[in-house]
A and B are shown apart, each in its own frame.
Chain A
């Protein structure tokens, strides 16, 4: 694995992920579903990328493969100079544990743990984590640390999830429809938190969404359709989250 300390001052031109010729075929009963049909993509250190596409475009499948949750049917995914497609399930677990932060559409917090404990559950097993309180402050939740998920709004829960994801000082932050379950006002607060992490910690961030509005805050927008990348576009002028509308 790459040296974790390096990722903090990652350069714009370092390739973090090199995706080459990746296909993914699911067997759904008697039907074969081609989720990815030959994807080539490089993701750079410190960038904020948005994977944009309708549902079924293959963006989630790609994110899962990047996150070490799934393996491609064909092709290669290099993380730094390490081939994720050849990793054992144990190596993938270690990869997720030390290098990747995840944010899910439905937060996936542990209901029996408070906000602080939900963060601590990750920092306890990480190599070079920040303090849970620090991570929660970053997402503006310093007042709600001892609340259980059931006592928090959706936006707050999602911000706990972000705090949990960044608290281990991951090399990459992978977010799957992080605002998908939120109203726009709350969504913006969550996006602000993501942007802040990306800017202040320099964490490579990839957000997948079907919401074109969000794409306007990204460094690069990668559009997908039908299992292929249809367009990669760098944003000339990035918008701040509060300027977004959807």
Chain B
């Protein structure tokens, strides 16, 4: 029975450890493999238009291996039965090919026929979200002309593992899709015959990405190049890398806690096992065995039990790891999953388990073996106790004898009590992570979309347009207010640090876009100078008063120096903000805008949207509300799953710690408790002594756990910080309450099980036994 308990503890610890680490390794391995086998490019760039002959000059650059030119278009889509705005990227495919670089994976159907201008392959996620099968049709606005497209199949691409619309912060499979079309018809539609507007390339083994990017930018400048970027800055890859980084943090934190708790339980159970064998140990010593030989005997026994546990844990861990990996495969739209279990993971799990077990064993055996055999065969002396500190402070007379027993027992085994408390605390803190994630996202969305980006609809123009174009938007029925904005891609530099982002020109005194300071108060944009997202200022290590170098990556590409006048709190993305007029002046242009923000009467939202979609100048429309809703739709499942996992982990840890410590306490104090039953104590009165201790430890553990949880969430938030998003450390009362509640409930469940055990206290045996 005891052996069984030890094996179970090991199985759970090892399996969680193996599951987390192997899943993580599998994700990394799979991504690498996918990228390699499908020739995911190293450098990417877009431009306005360049003749195909230019491709040869790219190929000739030192460090460049393979080059592929493409035609890519951003289009508005119409899916039957779905009224929200849908947009997508249309990518060209070479004839009868999956592409030279960024090769697609054909999941079903076939490639588009060369020359057919109405056949497209859909990205699998998008097709699934709309239940579009081969043969189904959808409508697209291609270069201002409406066209009906026929789906010929589903595909995945290493370029769109994380399929996210430009400017969006999260994937929305209903409202953004990727499609592939034969090159010739796509090029014709966009006047790109014999030309291209997108280049990707791979590097030779010794090729340097930055050198190639610099040369490429120089080469493409006259053709409207907007600046090349390396694989690490590619949108899908960046999101995926951030996610994997988060997984890595979680996959390290969780198993460490879980394994730590398992190690503690293992130690406790083994010590108990050995101390129960006190008499056998004495007998062995009486027969002439040395302490070492006795220790070795028990070490062998424990290693045997632990080995069974490790094997079991390995099996369970692999099984769970494969399950987890396949969940991730779906989640990240990976075409395959290479399950990877590295030997070092197995070895470290085994070494930790066996190490902890042997330490526990030797400690306990040492305790039993240090007594002379004759003494060890006599009953154990009553353990020494003393009045506890709080009793000595004069509170004693308020405590009944059973309460004194509880206090003194806790104080007599301070390390064990402390570890039990710590174990319960860790369980409590783990559970806060699930709630923290949800609360933080709610808070981010609240700040970003209710306080900062307050428009109902954002419309992007195909190219910079005169400010007066807003009049026509303002006159649409239902439109309450319109503001223009100007976005330009730029490379921001301070000292040797630089960052590629957009400089956004917004209306001074506008109401639809607001910059917030750290206290979420509104910041007024000054007439001159730039305000940076606080995270960007940190990245560049620039502070208000410093001069920022802005290298515009559009139009005449001026490079200018602008003073930084402040920083703004933003949780999503990183940006530089200026007054729109100031930006226009900087660019040497008139009152130009890149798009418009609209405040719309909810009743008219649909009509306004339809109107906008019909305007040829408008490339894309984003409806704020539906974007948030759809984000929650996708996230809810993940968050629920994650919360479920953390709750399960937390509950099982707190149950494991509480139940095992109580079970062992019961076995250690069996005699004492049975004696009290003989003296006429009711089961409830005896239970009070045992469960009161548990309750006390749990009550102490909860606030400590909440504190640790706060720290843990802070640590995760810190580790998750990236230029894509920063997670605010916001923990609502609900998060604390839930964690505490689950700990209390799992303690109550263990208490109920202990209560049932108490029914079987053997009163007759206790009269005769010496212990």
Contact = CB atoms under 8 A, between A and B. Distances in A.
Interface of A: 60, 64, 67, 69-70, 90, 93-98, 100, 102, 104-106, 108-114, 117, 120-122, 124-125, 148-151, 157, 164, 176
B667 to A, nearest CB: 16
A110 B681 contact: no
Given A150-B381, A150-B384, A124 B678 contact: no
A109 B382 contact: yes
B387 to A, nearest CB: 8
Given A64-B764, A150-B385, A110 B680 contact: no
B81 interface: no
Contacts of A113: 385, 401, 404-405, 408
B676 A148 contact: no
B382 A69 contact: no
B412 A104 contact: no
A98 B764 CA distance: 19
Interface in B719-771: 763-764, 766-771
B762 to A, nearest CB: 10
Contacts of A124: 400-401
Given A111-B383, A112-B405, A125 B680 contact: yes
B409 A112 contact: yes
Interface string B441-484: 00000000000000000000000000000000000000000000
Given A60-B767, A64-B764, A104-B767, A149 B382 contact: yes
Contacts of B771: 106
Contact of B678 (A69, A98, A110, A114): A69
Contacts of A164: 679
Contact of A112 (B381, B404, B677, B766): B404
Interface size class of B (residues with CB under 8 A): 35 or more
B82 to A, nearest CB: 68
Given A112-B385, A125-B681, 4 more contacts: A69-B678, A112-B404, A113-B385, A113-B401
B382 A96 contact: no
Given A64-B767, A104-B675, A94 B404 contact: no
Contact of B764 (A69, A100, A105): A69
B379 interface: yes
B510 interface: no
Given A64-B764, A69-B763, A94-B680, A148 B675 contact: no
B767 A93 contact: no
A164 B681 CA distance: 14
B672 A110 contact: yes
Given A104-B675, A112-B409, A93 B382 contact: no
A97 B681 contact: yes
Nearest to B409: A112
A67 B405 CA distance: 26
Given A98-B680, A125-B680, A125-B681, A60 B768 contact: yes
Q: Of residues B383, B405, B678, which shows the largest number of chain A Cβ atoms within 10 Å of its Cβ?
A: B678
Contacts, number: 97
Contacts of A149: 382
Contacts of A106: 379, 769-771
Contacts of B546: none
B386 interface: yes
A106 B381 CA distance: 11
A148 B382 contact: yes
Contacts of A121: 401-402, 676, 679
Indicate the member of A64, A112, A125 with the most B CB atoms within 10 Å: A112
B671 interface: yes
Contacts of B381: 150
A150 B383 contact: yes
B765 to A, nearest CB: 10
B32 interface: no
A96 B678 contact: yes
13 contacts: A93-B677, A93-B680, A102-B767, A104-B766, A104-B767, A106-B379, A110-B401, A112-B408, A114-B387, A122-B680, A125-B685, A148-B385, A148-B386
A2 B430 CA distance: 57
B767 to A, nearest CB: 5
Contact of A105 (B402, B676, B685, B767): B767
Contacts of B766: 104, 108
B225 to A, nearest CB: 81
B543 to A, nearest CB: 62
Contact of A96 (B379, B408, B409, B679): B679
Nearest to A98: B680
Contacts of B770: 106
B682 interface: yes
A164 B408 CA distance: 20
B764 to A, nearest CB: 5
A58 to B, nearest CB: 13
A94 B685 CA distance: 13
Contacts of A176: 767-768
B531 to A, nearest CB: 66
A149 B381 CA distance: 9
Nearest to A111: B382
Contacts of B678: 67, 69, 96, 102, 104, 108
A124 B405 CA distance: 14
B405 A110 contact: yes
B367 to A, nearest CB: 17
B665 to A, nearest CB: 12
Contact of A111 (B672, B682, B768): B672
Contacts of B672: 108, 110-111
A123 to B, nearest CB: 9
Nearest to B388: A112
B412 A112 contact: yes
Contacts of A109: 382
Contacts of B671: 108
A214 to B, nearest CB: 18
Contacts of B384: 111, 148, 150-151
A114 B384 CA distance: 11
A102 B679 contact: yes
A114 B383 CA distance: 12
Nearest to B408: A112
A67 B671 CA distance: 18
A149 B412 CA distance: 15
Nearest to A104: B767
Given A110-B405, A112-B412, A113-B404, A96 B680 contact: yes
Contacts of B400: 124
B695 to A, nearest CB: 18
Contacts of A95: 680
A110 B676 CA distance: 9
A60 B680 CA distance: 19
A55 to B, nearest CB: 10
Nearest to A55: B768
Interface in B351-407: 379, 381-387, 400-402, 404-405
Contacts of A112: 385, 404-405, 408-409, 412
A100 B680 contact: yes
A204 B766 CA distance: 23
A70 B408 CA distance: 32
Contacts of A150: 381-385
Contact of A97 (B401, B679, B763): B679
A201 to B, nearest CB: 18
A53 B681 CA distance: 30
A38 to B, nearest CB: 21
B768 A108 contact: no
Nearest to B411: A112
A91 to B, nearest CB: 11
Contacts of A70: 764
A120 B401 contact: yes
Interface string B641-684: 00000000000000000000000000000011001111111110
Contacts of B379: 106
A85 B680 CA distance: 17
Contacts of B385: 111-113, 148, 150
Nearest to A152: B382
